[in-house]
Every structure is written in C-alpha cells, then in structure tokens.
Amino acid sequence: MIKKKNKSQNPYNICYDNCINDFSGGSAIIMKKLLAVCACTVLSLSLSGCSLGTVLEQITSTGDVSVEEPSSPESAATEPKSRVYMDEISGTLQDFSGSQLILNKGEASYVFNLSGATLECKDGMITGDEISVIYEGQLSGTDTSTVQTLKVVDEFHRKSKLKKRTAHGQVLSLTANTITLKSKKGKTATYPITGTEQYYQNGIKEGDWVYLRFKGKFPDTSQDSSASLNASHLKVLSISDLETIVIPDPTPTPPPNPEETPEEAAGKEQQFLATIQGVNLNTLQILPAGSSTVQNLDMSSIPVYFKGGIAPGSHVNVTYKGVLQPDTLEGIQILAVTGEDPDTIDDKHISFTVTGVITGSTANTITVQTDDGAVDTFRTEELRNSSEASLEYGDYVQVTFHPSKSKASNIYTAVQIQNT
C-alpha cells in the first residue's frame, strides 16, 4: 500500500504555507487588487455578450479557430475601388459622320464612337484639323471598342493652325446649302455653304467663275482616280465673283412723297421685303410680304448679297423700279437683292432654316442630311424648345439656326428644332 507523504515534510508544502502566511499578513492589499482585477474581467465579459464558459472553451479548444472581424464603415471606405483609366489620343481628323469619327495618327487609323461624347472643337469638325479625343478605358492597338469617348477637343499642342485657302472654279450648281465647282484641272467638288456669306457683283448663273474661301484639307485621294473631291467637312467662309469682297454701301431708299405721280414714283428706286423659299442656281424663290404667291426672281445679271447665306425662311430686300403689282414681278425692273444681316438679329427673331433627315448625334449635337445633299451638324445647347429629347434617327426636321454664331466653325448653333 502506497502511503501518503506527510505534508509537513514536503518542501513544496513548506513554501505554500509560507506564502499563505505572507498573504494573511502584510500582503492583504495585493489580494484586494487581484480581486478587483478579476471582477473587472468578469464584468467586461458579461458586457461583451460572452460567458466565462465560452471564453474558456475558446481558450482551451484544440481545434483551429478562424475568427473573421466584421468590417467597419471606416475600413470599407478605405478599401481600394476599381481603377478608372482616362487617356487621350491626338491626330488628324480624316472623316466625321455625325456619330463617329476617323482619326489618323501616323500610319494608324482609329474609329471612335461619339454617341455619348461632347464636341468642343473651336473650328468644328473640319477634315485635316488636329484634334484630341479624350476617352475612358484602355485602347488595344487601333481597336476602340473597349473605350468610351468622352469629348473631342482642339489639339493643345497644335503644330499648325488651319490656313485659309482659296478655290477658283466654275459654277455647276447652287442651292441653299451647297455649291458645286469645277476647277481648271477638271476636278469637281460640292462644298457645304450653309450660312456662308455670298456676294455676286455681276449676278450668278451656271458657268460663272467664282472664288471660294475655305478652311480645311481634302482627304487624301492619291489612290483615287475619281474626278471629284470630298469637300463635305470643310468650312467655307465666303464666295464671290470678286477675288476680294468689297460690299458697296447700300443706296438709301428715299421716303415716299405723297405728291409724286405714279409715273414719277415708277422712275425711282424702291424696295419690297420678301421671304426666301429656296434657290436653284440663278433662280431665287421668294414670297413677297403681303402676297400668297411664290415668285421666281432671276439673279443671273444683278448684284446680289447674302451675308448669312441663302437660307429658306430668311428675308431679303429687293430693289426695283416700276410699279409693283400683286402676285407678280412682271412690269418691274429688278436692280439688286440684299439679304438681311444676321448680326443684327437675336435668337428670338432669327428665321434662317435647314430641313432634312437626322443621320447622327452626339451628347451636344445632331447631324442632318439636308434636302439638297449637305451634311450639317448643329449644337443643341442653346435650343429654345425642348423637343430635342424626342428626336430619333431618321426623323425629318426643320432646324432654325443662327449664322453669326458659326462664322468660323462648320458646327452651327441651333436655336429651334421642329420635328416635321
């Protein structure tokens, strides 16, 4: 039988007894502190929702324990987000369709979708101009399908600005928005002339030679044997049969004299106001004020001046001699035609119009294929009506625009768009 050892003879028991005696003596204060610490520990465990048994279970558990701390709002805010890449590419504008553009950079060509982008180029979208395309995403070679175009702007580090150039050609056709010329070398080009200043001192007709001043460059046709040039995205500044336009001062119209006889009045210059309906070469279609009949006016041998272009809806003053009859121009001598000055007209009273089909749009423009074949782009920020929201591709619209706000740009400022 195994006997128990005498406690008093065990050196460990002797040490234990001495410790007890110490605590019962001068160490009472230490004991109180230990009890206070234990009480605080139990209290904190109870407040945290954990029982003492639970804590002990976690401490004594021999299994692997993985504790996932809940993320606080502060830590969530500092978590890294997906990075958005923004970049730009600069080059030369080769073509523009209204909803996309082709940019040449060196030997490479890039096609960008512009449906959600804003156009902010000072000169508009002129072929040959240096521009920058700002986009979101990352290009993969010349593949632009992975990026979103944000805006198109003038190239900040332009090597050269667009120069004003002059074409001298023979008139083949003239409409409200286009003129077709044939050069001495036999090349033909149809130029966009919406809102373009025109002065023909000796009148205008087929076969006349005129000077056309413009900005931009024709697309490269070195591989094209065609006899026609693409001038659809140039900016035409003026057209005249004079190399340098000098507009004579208008002859003041004398006030009516009630004592004049009809014969005396017929021998003096007079004027009547009319609204332009259209133009085809030398024939100007007008609706005289107070009349319900459209008249054809021959411009082949009289001086004509249109500061804001030959736009339907705009007004002209017709200078004549003779006795004007209702609903006819017969019996009078037409001396000159002068269009109204858009510089003196505000947006509320402007009446220059273009009609055609919507073929493209961006975040701040629409592009219209006009009835006479021009491709015109219009800014929509200054619209005085709200019908733009309901416009769709293929809609036939009438756009009222202000020529004075696009003297240097081939993007015009629309003030009203009507879906017709």
Residues 197, 182: Cα–Cα separation, whole Å: 20
pLDDT in tens, 279-331: 999 999 999 999 999 999 999 999 999 999 999 999 999 999 998 988 899 98
Asked whether the predicted pLDDT for residue 231 surpasses 80, the reply is yes
- Closest CA relative to residue 310, chosen from 321, 297, 319, 320: 297
* Contact assessment for residue 296 and residue 279, using Cβ atoms and an 8 Å cutoff: no
Instruction: Name the CA radius of gyration of the chain, rounded.
Output: 42
pLDDT for 55-114, tens place per residue?
A: 333 333 333 333 344 445 555 555 555 677 899 999 999 999 999 999 999 999 999 999
The span from the first CA to the last CA of the chain, in angstroms, equals 120
- For 23-48, what is the mean pLDDT? 45
pLDDT score of 58: 39
Please state which of the ranges 82-91, 180-189, 365-374 shows the lowest mean pLDDT: 82-91
**Interval 201-226 mean pLDDT:** 86
Q: What is the pLDDT of residue 199?
A: 98
pLDDT number for residue 214? 97
Backbone angles phi, psi at 361, to 5 degrees: -160, 155
In angstroms, the CA 142 to CA 102 distance is 11
Average pLDDT over residues 352-361: 97
Question: What is the pLDDT confidence band of residue 247, given thresholds at 50, 70 and 90?
Answer: confident
Confidence band (pLDDT; 50, 70, 90) for 222? Answer: low
Contact 195, 239 (CB under 8 A): no
Residue 278 has pLDDT above 80, yes or no: yes
**Whether the predicted pLDDT of 357 surpasses 80:** yes
- Average pLDDT for residues 147-156, to the nearest whole number? 92
Mean pLDDT, the chain, whole residue set: 82
pTM for the structure as a whole: 0.76
Look at residue 391 in the predicted model and tell me its pLDDT.
85
Q: Looking at residue 249, what is its pLDDT?
A: 73
Q: What pLDDT was estimated at residue 53?
A: 40
Helices (H) and strands (E) in the chain, counts: 5, 24
- Of the listed ranges 42-51, 105-114, 238-247, 402-411, the least confidently predicted one is 42-51
Q: How many residues does the chain have?
A: 420
Mean pLDDT within 325-347: 94
* pLDDT higher than threshold 90 for residue 148: yes
Q: Compute the distance between CA of residue 68 and CA of residue 191 in angstroms, rounded to an integer.
A: 71
Question: Cα–Cα–Cα angle for 120, 417, 102, nearest 5°?
Answer: 35
Instruction: Give all domains of the chain, ordered by start, each with its CATH number.
Output: 86-154 (2.40.50.140), 164-220+227-240 (2.40.50.320), 262-344 (2.40.50.140), 352-419 (2.40.50.140)
Cα–Cα distance for residue pair 235/128, rounded to 1 Å = 11
pLDDT tens per residue across span 159-182:
678 889 999 999 999 999 999 999
- The pair of structure tokens assigned to 162 is 């667009």
pLDDT for the residue numbered 253: 62
Specify the pLDDT at position 266: 66
User: pLDDT tier at 251 (50, 70, 90 boundaries)?
Assistant: low
Q: What is the DSSP letter of 145?
A: T
* Range with the largest mean pLDDT of 86-100, 149-163, 247-261: 86-100
pLDDT of residue 159: 67
Select the more confidently predicted residue: 164 or 156. Answer: 164
Instruction: Supply the DSSP string of 72-138, one letter for each residue.
Output: PHHHHHTSPPPPPPEEEEEEEEEEE-SSEEEEEETTEEEEEE-TT-EE--TT-S-TT-EEEEEEES-
Residue 277 has pLDDT above 70, yes or no: yes
Task: Answer whether residue 52 shows pLDDT above 50.
Answer: no
Q: Return the pLDDT at 2.
A: 32
Q: Is pLDDT at 33 greater than 80 in this prediction?
A: no
Residue showing tokens 């004020």: 289
Task: State the pLDDT confidence band at 224, using cuts at 50, 70 and 90.
Answer: low
| Angle 5-6-11 from CA coordinates, rounded to 5° | 95
Mean pLDDT of 139-163: 88
| Predicted local distance difference test score (pLDDT) of residue 252 | 63
Q: How far apart are CA 48 and CA 40, in angstroms?
A: 12
pLDDT band at 248 (very low <50, low <70, confident <90, very high): confident
CA distances, 24 to each of 16, 33, 70, 373 (Å): 12, 14, 47, 113
Output 310 or 256, whichever has higher pLDDT: 310
